[in-house]
């Protein structure tokens, strides 16, 4: 052993190799056991080479081995344990019990770190039960939530609604639970989910475009297909109930349309009945929509006189009429109902969302240019709205189709900045040439 080696307490190459070998092969021993074992290995190696470790060198070795063990254990734990998802609440506050409450003027949204979003509708209440690296468990106490769950191979999301459990890996849906009626409604926009609960001996699989209603009290199960728009590239987004809230002053102008919307004072074309008197009781179209009575809603509007119905119905009724008409392929009526919302309630949540629905209709009927105008209008009026991700994704697709990859790349990069885990993220990365 040289004088320099004696002065320097660093490990020799052979001892260092022994330490590394032991660190990699000692399994699940405690840090203390690892230190003792590594010292014995190192001492035996030193004896074979014909020298003994001095007390100074032996102490330095013990400290170095202990540090290597602790660093190795900590590094192994960091490398094998995925980080738990984080989340934040926008437009509201989370209570100490983990609950989030919406009122008549707010629609809080819970954003998770993987891009998943859960938005509460008017007067809904939900709470976060648990969160881990695979997903979260969310309990819906009452009302409706609209969720967009980012698809990941290892993801597992659970949504409780009364006695029912909805298991999700990646999809978009609206889920509502009415405890007073013991009724669940699930409207699936894309993906697939499984619903388990007391009304079925086995889980119920729900696919994109379907609407499931369960009545716990009567034991009824209703599953109907809502994907009725032919030629659409994706199922139509199902509008969850939204509050009538004040929007920004000065709504954006409505894009020009090939047909002028019906005027509130125009005579009903070929309608044999006069407009119903203003004192006529309101029809429960929202309730009938939830019950699947789609034809009944449209028929009542036509019997009432479509122009009168469009001029006198509430914002909520117009939403129900538009949805019922879309789902029964009466797109002309749907379009007129949505335009009436835009004209009569331009600054409300539903009025803004009508622009998105008009864009979806335009894609299948009028072509890309008209649809693009509507999607851009929606994004301008509701940049953080429930359908912002879908609207920006559809805009990217249309711009690429109409103007080519170069212009679409700008939209793609904007999409990835806002929705890195969104439905159109893969297509956006291809356009933006981003891994």
Domains (range + CATH), the chain: 3-80 (no CATH), 87-225 (2.60.120.1440), 285-386 (1.25.40.10)
Q: Return the biggest CA–CA distance within the chain.
A: 113
Q: What six digits make up the tokens of 29?
A: 């021993």
Compute the chain's Rg from CA coordinates. Answer: 31
Q: Are 352 and 382 in contact (CB under 8 A)?
A: yes
Among 330, 336, 302, CA closest to 318: 336
Angstrom distance (rounded) from CA 420 to CA 413: 10
| Angle of the 55-80 helix axis to the 13-25 helix axis, nearest 10 | 40
354 CA to centre of own chain: 20
Q: What is the pTM of this model?
A: 0.43
CA distance 53 to 242: 77
* pLDDT score for 396: 94
Give the pLDDT score at 213: 87
Query: What pLDDT score was predicted for residue 435?
Result: 66
Per-residue confidence (pLDDT) for residue 110, from 0 to 100: 93
Residue (of 50, 63, 45) closest to 9 by Cα position: 63
User: What is the block-wise mean pLDDT of the chain (435 residues), using blocks of 10 residues?
Assistant: 42 53 46 51 54 53 52 43 80 84 86 91 90 91 91 84 85 88 87 80 80 81 62 36 34 39 36 42 73 85 94 92 86 95 94 92 82 95 87 92 93 92 82 81
């Amino acid at each position: 052993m040289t004088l320099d080696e004696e002065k320097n307490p660093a490990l020799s190459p052979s001892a260092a190799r022994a330490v590394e070998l032991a660190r990699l092969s000692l399994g699940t021993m405690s840090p203390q056991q690892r230190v003792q074992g590594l010292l014995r290995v190192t001492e035996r190696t030193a004896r074979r080479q014909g020298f003994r470790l001095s007390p100074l060198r032996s102490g330095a070795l013990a400290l170095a081995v202990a540090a290597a063990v602790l660093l190795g254990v900590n590094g192994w734990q960091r490398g094998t344990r995925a980080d738990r998802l984080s989340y934040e609440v926008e437009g509201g506050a989370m209570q100490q019990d983990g609950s989030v409450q919406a009122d008549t003027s707010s629609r809080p949204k819970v954003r998770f770190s993987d891009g998943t979003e859960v938005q509460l509708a008017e007067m809904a209440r939900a709470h976060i039960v648990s969160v881990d690296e695979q997903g979260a468990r969310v309990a819906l106490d009452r009302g409706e939530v609209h969720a967009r769950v980012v698809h990941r191979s290892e993801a597992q999301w659970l949504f409780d609604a009364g006695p029912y459990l909805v298991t999700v890996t990646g999809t978009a849906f609206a889920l509502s639970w009415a405890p007073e009626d013991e009724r669940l409604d699930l409207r699936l926009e894309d993906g697939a989910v499984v619903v388990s609960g007391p009304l079925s001996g086995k889980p119920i699989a729900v696919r994109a475009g379907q609407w499931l209603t369960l009545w716990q009290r009567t034991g009824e199960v209703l599953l109907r297909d809502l994907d009725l728009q032919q030629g659409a590239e994706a199922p139509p987004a199902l509008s969850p109930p939204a509050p009538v809230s004040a929007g920004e002053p000065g709504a954006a102008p409505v894009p020009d349309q090939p047909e002028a919307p019906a005027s509130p004072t125009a005579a009903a074309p070929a309608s044999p009945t006069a407009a119903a008197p203003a004192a006529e009781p309101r029809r429960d179209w929202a309730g009938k929509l939830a019950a699947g009575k789609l034809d009944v809603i449209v028929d009542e509007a036509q019997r009432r006189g479509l122009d009168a119905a469009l001029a006198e119905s509430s914002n909520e009724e117009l939403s129900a009429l538009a949805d019922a008409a879309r789902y029964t392929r009466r797109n002309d009526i749907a379009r007129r109902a949505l335009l009436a919302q835009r004209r009569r309630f331009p600054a409300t949540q539903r009025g803004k969302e009508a622009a998105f629905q008009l864009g979806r209709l335009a894609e299948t009927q009028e072509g890309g240019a008209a649809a693009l105008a509507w999607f851009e209008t929606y994004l301008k009026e509701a940049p953080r709205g429930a359908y912002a991700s879908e609207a920006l994704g559809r805009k990217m697709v249309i711009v690429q189709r109409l103007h080519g990859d170069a212009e679409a790349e700008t939209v793609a990069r904007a999409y990835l900045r806002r929705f890195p885990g969104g439905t159109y993220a893969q297509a956006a990365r291809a356009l933006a040439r981003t891994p």
